[in-house]
RNA sequence: GGUCCCGUCGUCUAGCGGUUUAGGAUAUCUGGUUCUCAUCCAGAAGAUCGCGGGUUCGAAUCCCGCCGGGAUCACCA
């Protein structure tokens, strides 16, 4: 059997969003699932839309997701170059073949003339087809005019691994431009040539290309290239669900998610879950599991909305599963100003007690700063707590003083602290919500925080008592 | 407008003619885990399977029509 080869072929015109990445991910999974190869090709044939640096930026996004390609513009490979702007001679060779066989001709019209044909067709309420204006004696192709494909319109039926059996009539086929007047090929031509040259077996791409399929099928025949296996990915819709995700308006750069502290495992898991599942009730999949279980016939046909809430949940699940050293490594860039200055050991201890509470690494400062640095007392927190307002300020301070006295004689382990706290409950006759709530505020002045014994054990006796003292000073 | 695709809880989805009083997850709400938040556990609510016809003993599942949504009709990919 032939080795499976898939590709992701972005154009360097900006950043990569989840829609782009899902196509890349699924292509990658198809290749890895069968032990095949995954390649990355840059389709930089539109010099007007090209954005400087976008190529490396997109490559970085792919790498950050753990999507490893075997051949690509930065690592080379047996079919180099992998940048279309460096393959102009290849397209010229195939275009010449088409000219020689009478299946391509130079476009004699000016852009304005073509536009007027189109306007006329629209006014007469019928579809515009360039081939209705096909010139009888086109000029020789000297490279200064666009080169058009001379189509052979017919009906087509084809199979799509995801969409099933598709078909379209001859009205979907037209004479499209294959080489632009600037000498660069169009996507429509270049991708077919490159996929063939690079021995791509599966063409996996977004739904926006299905309407062009009849044209491609026609071109494969003219080029005498056998068609690859096709798989069309349904669109990912924006959050309101009314149109496909596009970078023009609401799509978010995937790199943004990394900056906010989303894990690559969560991103990959989440993106794969939009449109694919293995038929069981499993929700959490590692990349290795995806590679083992992925198949195109379990990809859904309908579009999916991007729901960030679900992504956040999934990220929390992945953070929870990380071992401490791993979490520590990934959290490096997310600490707050005082957390950053703490020792590795302190940071790890903090992470250990807040790990379950972390949903996104960017929440780290809010969850940890008060553990590194003494917080500013804020009695309005106490005064707006309906349990604590049962006591007046003097009673509250008295309770904290009693607590401090008790803790002074306590061995400083989590277990012993717990025992002391329980004894304090009896000693003061207070309910947990009152006593513990008050102590928690005095220590953290935070809306929420880890449990009392673990917080105290982390802070140390000295710091705990110091904070209680500050609180009792009012 | 032409062509093509899609349509199950708010959201992601399972479902491939009977085991379905449509399952899971998330989001929401409630209770439990001696304080808060989170985790975890238990529970609640939430889908006339877009609508209307048919076929069938039986349809979310098959057929037809309609409606709604999306994509595409570039010297962009």
pLDDT at A474 over 80: no
The whole-angstrom separation of Cα A49 and Cα A40 is: 20
Provide the positions of strand B that have an atom within 7 A of a protein CB: 1-8, 10-15, 23-27, 34-40, 69-77
What's the CATH number for A375-472?
A: 1.10.10.350
The whole-angstrom separation of Cα A40 and Cα A54 is: 14
Pick left, alpha or beta for residue A41 (phi over 0 → left; psi -120 to 50 → alpha; otherwise beta): beta
Consecutive H or E run containing A12: none
ipTM above threshold 0.90: yes
Task: Spell out which residues of A between 437 and 456 contact strand B, using CB within 7 Å.
Answer: 437, 440, 446-453
Regarding beta strands A236-237 and A304-305, do their DSSP bridges make them parallel or antiparallel, or are they unpaired?
A: parallel
Listed residue (A103, A86, A135, A105) closest to A220, CA to CA: A103
Task: Spell out which residues of A between 66 and 105 contact strand B, using CB within 7 Å.
Answer: none
Mean pLDDT of A272-278: 95
pLDDT at A249 over 70: no
Residue A30 CA and nucleotide B35 C1' are separated, in Å, by 51
- What is residue A457's predicted lDDT score, i.e. its pLDDT? 96
- Phi and psi at A180, nearest 5°, equal -80, 165
Mean pLDDT of A423-438: 94
Listed residue (A291, A387, A357, A407) closest to A33, CA to CA: A291
> Among all strands, which nt has the closest C1' to A422 (CA)?
B34
pLDDT at A1 over 90: no
- What is residue A35's predicted lDDT score, i.e. its pLDDT? 96
For residue range A346-376, list pLDDT tens digits in order.
Answer: 999 999 999 999 999 999 999 999 999 999 9
- What is residue A208's predicted lDDT score, i.e. its pLDDT? 94
- Phi and psi at A254, nearest 5°, equal -60, -25
> Among all strands, which nt has the closest C1' to A130 (CA)?
B73
Task: Spell out which residues of A between 299 and 338 contact strand B, using CB within 7 Å.
Answer: 300-305, 307, 309-310, 312-313, 316-317, 320
Residue A399 CA and nucleotide B37 C1' are separated, in Å, by 24
For residue range A20-36, list pLDDT tens digits in order.
Answer: 999 999 999 999 999 99
| Percent of chain A whose predicted confidence (pLDDT) is above 70 | 99
The answer to whether the C-beta of A248 is closer than 7 A to strand B is: no
**If DSSP codes are grouped into helix, strand and coil, which group holds residue A37?**
strand
Reading the block at residue A431, the tokens are 């309910």
Mean pLDDT of A413-431: 94
Question: What is the overall mean pLDDT for chain A?
Answer: 94
| Residues of A labelled as active-site residues | 247
Residue A77 CA and nucleotide B53 C1' are separated, in Å, by 59
Residue A257 CA and nucleotide B47 C1' are separated, in Å, by 32
Listed residue (A194, A264, A201) closest to A228, CA to CA: A201
Listed residue (A267, A229, A217, A347) closest to A67, CA to CA: A267
Q: Which residue is nearest to nucleotide B14 (CA to C1')?
A: A279
Regarding beta strands A177-179 and A229-233, do their DSSP bridges make them parallel or antiparallel, or are they unpaired?
A: unpaired
**If DSSP codes are grouped into helix, strand and coil, which group holds residue A221?**
helix
> Among all strands, which nt has the closest C1' to A213 (CA)?
B4
Domain ranges of chain A: 375-472
Place of tokens 């006796």: A461
> Among all strands, which nt has the closest C1' to A310 (CA)?
B26
For residue range A139-181, list pLDDT tens digits in order.
Answer: 999 989 999 999 999 999 999 999 999 999 999 999 999 999 9
């Amino acid at each position: 059997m032939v080795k499976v080869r898939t590709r992701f072929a972005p154009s360097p015109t900006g950043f990569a969003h989840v829609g782009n990445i899902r196509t890349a991910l699924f292509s990658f999974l198809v290749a890895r699932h069968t032990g095949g190869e995954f390649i990355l090709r840059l389709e930089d044939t539109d010099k007007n839309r090209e954005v400087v640096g976008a190529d490396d930026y997109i490559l970085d996004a792919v790498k950050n997701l753990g999507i490893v390609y075997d051949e690509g513009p930065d690592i080379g490979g047996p079919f180099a170059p992998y940048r279309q702007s460096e393959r102009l001679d290849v397209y010229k060779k195939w275009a010449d073949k088409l000219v020689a066989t009478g299946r391509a001709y130079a476009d004699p019209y000016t852009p304005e003339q073509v536009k007027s044909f189109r306007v006329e067709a629209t006014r007469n309420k019928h579809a515009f087809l360039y081939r209705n204006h096909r010139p009888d004696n086109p000029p020789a192709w000297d490279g200064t005019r666009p080169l058009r494909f001379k189509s052979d319109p017919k009906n087509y039926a084809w199979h799509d691994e995801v969409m099933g059996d598709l078909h379209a009539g001859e009205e979907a086929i037209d004479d499209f431009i294959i080489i632009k007047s600037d000498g660069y090929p169009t996507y429509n031509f270049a991708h077919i040539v490159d996929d063939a040259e690079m021995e791509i077996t599966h063409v996996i791409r977004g739904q926006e290309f299905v309407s062009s399929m009849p044209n491609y099928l026609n071109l494969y025949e003219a080029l005498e290239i056998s068609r690859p296996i096709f798989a069309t990915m349904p669109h990912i819709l924006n959050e309101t669900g009314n149109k496909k995700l596009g970078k023009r308006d609401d799509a978010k750069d995937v790199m943004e998610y990394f900056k906010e502290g989303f894990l690559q495992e969560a991103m990959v898991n989440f993106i794969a879950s939009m449109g694919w599942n293995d038929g069981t009730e499993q929700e959490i999949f590692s990349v290795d599991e995806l590679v083992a279980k992925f198949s195109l016939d379990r990809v859904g046909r309908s579009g999916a909305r991007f729901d960030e809430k679900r992504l956040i949940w999934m990220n929390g699940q992945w953070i929870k599963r990380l071992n401490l050293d791993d979490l520590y490594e990934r959290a490096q860039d997310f600490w707050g100003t005082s957390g950053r200055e703490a020792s590795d050991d302190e940071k790890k201890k903090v992470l250990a007690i807040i790990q379950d509470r972390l949903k996104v690494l960017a929440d780290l400062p809010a969850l940890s700063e008060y553990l590194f640095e003494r917080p500013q007392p804020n009695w309005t927190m106490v005064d707006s707590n309906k349990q604590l307002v049962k006591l007046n300020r003097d009673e509250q301070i008295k309770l904290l003083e009693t607590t401090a006295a008790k803790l002074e004689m306590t061995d400083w382990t989590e277990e012993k602290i717990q025992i002391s706290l329980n004894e304090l409950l009896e000693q003061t006759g207070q309910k947990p919500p009152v006593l513990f709530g008050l102590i928690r505020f005095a220590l953290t002045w935070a809306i929420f925080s880890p449990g009392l014994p673990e917080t105290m054990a982390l802070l140390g006796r000295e710091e705990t008592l110091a904070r209680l003292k500050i609180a009792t000073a009012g």
